[in-house]
Structure 1
Amino acid sequence: MATLFLIIIYLSFISLGLPDSLLGAAWPVIQADFGAPFGVAGVLSIIIAAGTIVSSLASGAVLKRLGTGQVTLISCFMTAAALLGFYFAPSIIWLMVLALPLGLGAGSVDAALNNYVATHYKAHHMSWLHCFWGVGATLGPIIMSGFIREHDLWRDGYLTVAVIQFALVVVLFITLPLWKRMEKVQSHAVKEGQGPQDKLYDAGSTEQPMRMKGVKITLMTFLFYCGAEATVGLWGSSFLVNAKDLSAAVAAQWVSMYYGGITVGRFITGFVTLKVSNRVLIRSGLLIALAGALLLILPLPTFYSLIGFMLIGFGFAPIYPCMLHATPERFGKEQTQKLMGYQMAVAYTGTTLLPPLLGWIAAQTTITILPFFVAIYIAVMLFGSERVNRIMKLRSLRSETASTNHSINA
């Protein structure tokens, strides 16, 4: 039963990744079909991100009321319905309307499953969970390209992904009692002290999450991580074409190696977490990604740029899942539902704001600034991560001292 349950969770995260890359793959055809301005794709992306941020912020209260199983079911139904709406949409205005429930559904399921896995499973499951997101994000453009390659049938691409999403909705509906049963079993295990987390915070703490020391720095790290990941993905090809004189086709292939580095890296990280702590993996990943950015900055032969992109992707691989999984350990299980929603909201804010910021600055200057900005983002993340580690260490020492004093007085 436990294995079946994990398969359902992983499938749900594949479904989260599937729609994420569809718009970019289909936009050249959608734009021509509707005669829309090129920049409308950015508007659609912002609407999706806005819905995601709103649902992420509300996820703590919604999860407490409905539970992970129902939230995942409702969210997947919303995304499936929105994707089906894209198939029927008669105009760009309708795509804008449908982009909102698409974002709302994505944010809810993202926060719900991240919270559930961080609370009830070991770190390697979080890494593999996000590896499956990469599988979905990779399959989306493959499915779409199959329909638009010859006949520009972008609607059929959306219909196919919608059917896959609806199939998952059926699976989630049938297995809803399993979610409830597993939640009861695993909640009981955590109460009995058998859960996967060693908490530095008292599980019964009622302190406001934003007042807890280290939370704001952690949120800043999430913002810069997701902003950096999206920035490299969006502007990597442009950097290679304009700064390294590669063809667009070769540049696209090289950037795909960046995503490959993230996906493969997260698969490998799942095994490494069995022996290495989240803290060490986050630090190592940031240093590897920084080395990749430096390879792009230095005046080296063009081939080193490919190595640089691969290193950035491989370095980024453990950071996001390990930071998410560390949430209960850092701030206590009782605060994880709210904090997971806050982290998702800030992460999507970084994804929404930082890539356009670099694009605007590059338009005024040159795209060669890309690796410099990425290196700065990574340095900020490294500073924030190490600062939180120091806070956690001091808190642990105070807790041990208080426990020792209590034993002596007793």
Structure 2
Amino acid sequence: MDQIKKYIDNLGISSLNAMQEEVNAQFDSARDFILLSPTGSGKTLAFSILLLKLLKNYPKTIGSALILVPTRELALQIESVIKKMDNTISMVCLYGGNNSKLEKNKIKEGPQVIVATPGRLIYHLEREPGLLQHTHTLVLDEFDKSLELGFYDQISYIIHACRDIKHKILTSATDVTDKPEFVKLNNPIKLDFLEKTALIPNLNYFRVNSSTKLKLEQLFKLICKIGAERILVFCNHREATEHVSSLLESKGIDSIPYHGGLDQYFRELAITKIKNGSQLILITTDLASRGLDIPDMNHVIHYQFPYKQEDFIHRNGRSGRNQQEGNVYSVIAEGDRCPEYYEHVEELELDEFYPLPPLPAYQTIRFTAGKKQKINKIDIVGFIFSLGTYQKSDVGMVEVKAFDSYVAVNRSIAREIVKLGNNAKIKGQKVRLSLI
């Protein structure tokens, strides 16, 4: 338990929840493991505890453990959680849209843990057939979503490329009754928390009725009523996210569209800015319904209902995470398809004047230096404080990537920092700063 206390301290949480405690207690390394638990209940931490426990039983080799996920967002979240839990674990995150050359270089370093989406992993397997020959632990996270997205043949190919798997862990937010034959589970332990009340998000549901012509106006008023808090607005199509974001901007509300058609750089930048508080509103497709764990994201708006109730549940799972209270709203115009499960939800009247929300407290500054230049968070924070008499609270989240870094700073001093620090040197490395 001393090791687990270290993990939770590193993550900045006080304790494991009931599901995570039971996963740890019930795990038997001689048997495979199935965990069914609702979206937002902490499955990543639960299986990561098991994975780190198993890694200690084997020599350190390339690809000792493989975590297979359906989306790049989920891959990045898992990588972040495990690195926080134990920064001595070497990892590589492989996903479409990432720089394949950087991934190849990282693989050459012999990472113990590979987190990957199926297609990108196969890309590397075709060039490095022995990549998974030492894999002893396989985690299939969000397995239901992987099958839904049609990764059946790809997962089968990958499992057959793993020559000596001894442990399999499957997680899912729904019960997959017909598991493909190629998974071949060994006398699995199955823990089902799907109906456990304590793990179901604490959500309040509201409906906002509207005429067809005033639907966007009602969305605008709803956002103004909520105020300066993080909000996810879900649409069904890429074009709708761009359209809604553009129209909100014309009304004075800044937001970021987020969908699969965007370049990977802009997708990652959008999440960085939402997480660090320099942006508060994400207009998104179902791309954001899984794999995103954004602190204090307690408002989800369905501008358009998803086609399946299961997707509705996953969207809502972005709110009310870690036992926080969340709010779910739907803007429903005349003639909109309103599912039966939402017909009797409390109506929210928007009959007052609501001022525009204030701008976020932070802005993001991009530094043109990162890990490849041996720059770390302490270097960047120290550099900022060397520019003037700033307070600790003036600097928010710092994210250091391979070739650049992103820092949230107090909006009132952001331009000053860029002006003072642009073209200066950090560790002898000349850096450019820009507001983004």
TM-score range, shorter chain: under 0.3
More helix by share: 1
Taking structure 2 as the reference length, what is the TM-score of the superposition?
0.26
Taking structure 1 as the reference length, what is the TM-score of the superposition?
0.27
More strand by share: 2
RCO comparison, higher one (Cα < 8 Å, 6+): 1
